[in-house]
Chains A and B, each alone.
Chain A
Amino acid sequence: MRARRRPRPLPAREQVLGRRAPGNGFLHRSPAGLKVAMLALFTALVLVAREPVVSAGGVVLVLLTALAAQVPLRMLLALLRRLWLLLVVLAALQLLLNDPLTGAEVLSRILATLLAAQLLILTTAPAELVAVLRVLLAPLRVLGLEPGRVALAALVMLRSIPFLADQFRMAGRQAAARGLERNLKARTLPLLLGAVEHARDTGRALSARGIDQV
């Protein structure tokens, strides 16, 4: 008898904010503004240098920082599991269009910046990040934009990513249940309608609570 194919595991739910690394290392304790500034500096450096040694060194630096700050590497690298397809496509494109060395440099550059950003998210409370965002957006007041409003919009956007991922999965299952696995419309239209409905419900709930900024 032929061995049965292994059942497909259920993917874990996506989560952008709100998943903090346990513990209280030095990164957990340092102020959010400083961490954001360091991240910006680090990213700028890696992007400007465009040197394989700098980029690869950046990846190593991020990993070492994580270890020193007692952040489990497993949580940091979970990012790769989410983005592997994108990274594979990028790698393939680079190999096709460029030489391997440039490809490795581009990939390590992307990895270094993404992992550094993930490290920030893992060690900072979302509320602190929002506070930093508000400070950064403060100059927009000149243009008549309320920083608190923009921050709320950003927060709602981040909040809806996992929701949309759920909806996408559900739309896929609903399509499959009707035998429409390969029908693009059946897989995307419910997602679109669900997104609009979710946006409307969120807006209503916020305005019922009288909240228009954070």
Chain B
Amino acid sequence: MVNDNLVDNIVSEPYKYGFVTEIESEKISKGINEDIIRLISSKKNEPEYLLNFRLNAFKKWQTMEEPDWADLGYEAIDYQDIIYYSAPKQQEKITSLDEVDPKLLETFDKLGIPLTEQKRLTNVAVDAVFDSVSIATTFKEQLAEHGVIFCSISEAIKDHSDLIEKYLGSVIPASDNYFAALNSAVFSDGSFVYIPKNVTCPMDLSSYFRINSGDSGQFERTLIIAEEASSVSYLEGCTAPMFDTNTLHAAVVELIALDDASIKYSTVQNWYAGNEQGVGGIFNFVTKRGKCIGKRSKISWSQVETGSAITWKYPSCILLGEESVGEFYSVALTNNLQQADTGTKMIHIGPKTKSTIVSKGISAGKSSNSYRGLVKIGSKAKGARNYSQCDSMLIGDKAAANTFPYIQSQQSNSEVEHEASTCRISEDQLFYLQSRGIEFEEAVSMMVSGFCRDVFNQLPMEFAAEADKLLSLKLEGSVG
């Protein structure tokens, strides 16, 4: 029984979330220009300052060029062929879940995110975003009792304009990069979180992003503010139907932590990845950044990236406050023809700031998976410390893994430590597990979860279990 090439024959598990919800949508015409931006803004009844924010961003975007430094290859995106606003048709003003189209509730039910009171998750508040709009946010009233604001960003723009004006774009200015500028010009919805001073958010908060329409992009915007000595754990999930065209997703997430505040932001990204031939799938160009403004503040990113045809994403921390802490824990899995270029930036500005980076890349099939990270120690960051660990695992002999660590230090009194490793699941390891009665695919998934353990330990419990399941599902048939 010779198995010459254990790792040929790549068959992916059918994507479980690939269904399309048949619902009438209100879409604007394709393309992007000033009128479109005015139209989006007026549809959302936005105040003047926000329209100006958008128009300024658009002006900047027009002068910018799409970045090409990442280790990614894809056909040029035609930005005039994208619909920038798509919303399911429903009543103008929804006051309770009863008024939400049952089809939408059903969609989120099917995705495992029930929203209705009888069925909703008891320990997590959810903001459900469908294409360009937020459908519902659960537990709003209960959270309000603690002073916590959790709502769609569109609502926040109307009801909490002081906070929006102060913080929107304060971490990621519109001119930051090409995709952030595009998002700033056309962002449609997303989540807003405000945790007041001394409050520990009584439950996990989460957003669930669903792309339903094939020809419209999704440009969500999330803003989380944690006031002094407050803390919050936030989860983000994403899925999309299977289309043979590529859909653009360009999100911006900004986090702000004041003195002694802590924000934990966890993502399980499972956008449609395209088929085995690399047709279709989401182009995921995301800018995520947190600013530790306060002393001893802490921002922790954890991500499990399994979907998307292309992932371009570097959740970062700007460590301003003395003794502030930044963390990045990442598992990125690519299969078939997926491409991922992901990592982080840790910008140490304040003294005694600390950062930890743990990145685990798993490449199967013919995919390519790169870690790209920057650790920068500024001249005032006396006593700053960083520890980075980047491990890659190759499954099969057609996948690629790269590591691009950049280190810049202007402060001699600082410590930067970097460790990297690459391993391959060996035939002998698999045989060892099999010779103890463990099925081949289970053996692979045991080894993959073992490889990711350091990161999974950082995820909230339900998320960790889901991530583990998701990885084995994604890898099913990738070896063998």
Verify that A and B bind, or say they do not.
no
